Amino acid sequence: MIVRVSGEGQYRLDNSDGKLGELDNAVVSAVRAGDESAFRSSYDALLAFVRASGSPLAEDELVGSDLILPPPDLSLQEAEQEFQGEGLIPD
């Protein structure tokens, strides 16, 4: 799976354990609750997982993204538009 973090780059990620979906669900829950603190910590955890578990692609490597995550400085208000329904990652 190729995951793009907007404004940052792309990562090749093995998500066979479903961890990315779990983290996405935590973000969705925080957004639905309107909890800024929980949103920030859960979104930061999702991004940290992608960065730590993924392999960065070279900037000159052109590969389509399977998933595009909003930029790291995403606000709760912006997240309300992005993380709706099932979130970014369908179950």
Question: Which residue bears the tokens 């996405």?
Answer: 24
Contact (Cβ atoms closer than 8 angstroms) between residue 45 and residue 26: yes
Cβ neighbours, 10 Å, residue 20: 22
Assign residue 7 a region: left if phi > 0, alpha if psi is -120 to 50, beta otherwise?
left
| Integer CA distances (angstroms), 48 to 5, 20, 60, 77, 85, in order | 11, 11, 23, 21, 23
pLDDT at position 31 is 93
Phi, psi torsion values for 87, nearest 5 degrees:
90, -160
Tokens, residue 5: 């973090």
pTM over 0.75? The answer is yes
**Confidence check: pLDDT of 91 > 60:** no
**Confidence check: pLDDT of 12 > 90:** yes
pLDDT tens digits, residue range 37-88?
A: 999 999 999 999 999 999 999 988 889 999 999 999 999 999 988 776 667 7
